[in-house]
Amino acid sequence: EGVIYAGRGAGIVSGATKGWNSRTESVCYTGWGFLEIPQAARDSIRWLIGDIQSRYDDKLWVKGHRDLGNSTCPGNWLYDWLVSGMPMPLGDPKEIDWGGIKAHVDRLREKISHSPLSVARRSRGEAVRAVQERLSDLGFDPGGVDGIWGRKSSRATKDFQKSFEAFLKVDGVVGLQTWDALFGGWATTAFI
């Protein structure tokens, strides 16, 4: 439970998915992904994906084996958890580092100020995942939380922006105003 074994190693061509091995890094869960997996395993998978992402400046997309080949891997439960952004249990609110969370969101906001998220920019990475997860939490379907800004993310953003069209331009782009609407307290599930 939660133990990580190195396969061929970082940057080495894997043998996981025919046709994709030279441009992917693979993570293998040894267990039954059709039922809920142990929290320790989820923690390890999330950590490992974060470690791989850090080597590629958070620009990789995260996919299940079934997205790239004829397979049911990694199992329905694990796949659903993966495409929903690998959510973790909330925990005790008294023990949450709210200052750290605010600093993280502020750092992502700073990135957005220099490079708004859009299809035209082929946006990818951590800020994209954060927006996709927030849109999903608010009931807008970005097509999964994969860190790639595509048509579905743009459509979900436009739908969100329409909720605030008196204040926001409805263009499917996440600049500072849309970011602030998403993360600055304007939007709640009860309000939309």
Domain containing residue 46: 21-83
Q: Do residues 85 and 136 touch, judged by C-beta distance below 8 A?
A: yes
- CA–CA dist 19, 27 (Å, integer): 16
Q: Are 101 and 110 in contact (CB under 8 A)?
A: no
136 and 99 part of one domain: yes
Residue at which a domain ends, from 40, 63, 83: 83
pLDDT at position 62 = 83
pLDDT tens figures, 63-98: 888 988 888 989 999 999 988 888 888 778 888 888
Q: Average pLDDT over the chain, rounded to whole? A: 87
What pTM value is reported for the model?
Answer: 0.65
Asked if 102 and 166 sit in the same domain, the reply is yes
* pLDDT over 90 percentage in the chain: 43
Question: pLDDT by residue (tens digit) across 112-153?
Answer: 999 999 999 999 988 999 999 999 999 999 998 888 999 999
- In this prediction, residues 32-44 reach a mean pLDDT of 91
Rounded Cα gap, residues 43 and 112, in angstroms: 28
Q: Is residue 4 part of a domain?
A: no
Q: In this structure, is residue 55 part of a structural domain?
A: yes
Confidence (pLDDT) at 107 = 92
Do 78 and 99 share a domain, yes or no?
no
* Residue 13 CB burial class (10 angstroms; 0-12, 13-18, ≥19): exposed
Q: Are residues 110 and 56 in the same domain?
A: no
∠ CA 17-18-23, nearest 5°, is: 70
Q: What percent of the chain has pLDDT over 70?
A: 95
- pLDDT of 191: 41
Q: Where are the alpha helices (DSSP H) in the chain?
A: 39-55, 65-68, 76-83, 98-114, 126-137, 151-162, 176-183
Whether 20 has a pLDDT exceeding 90, the answer reads no
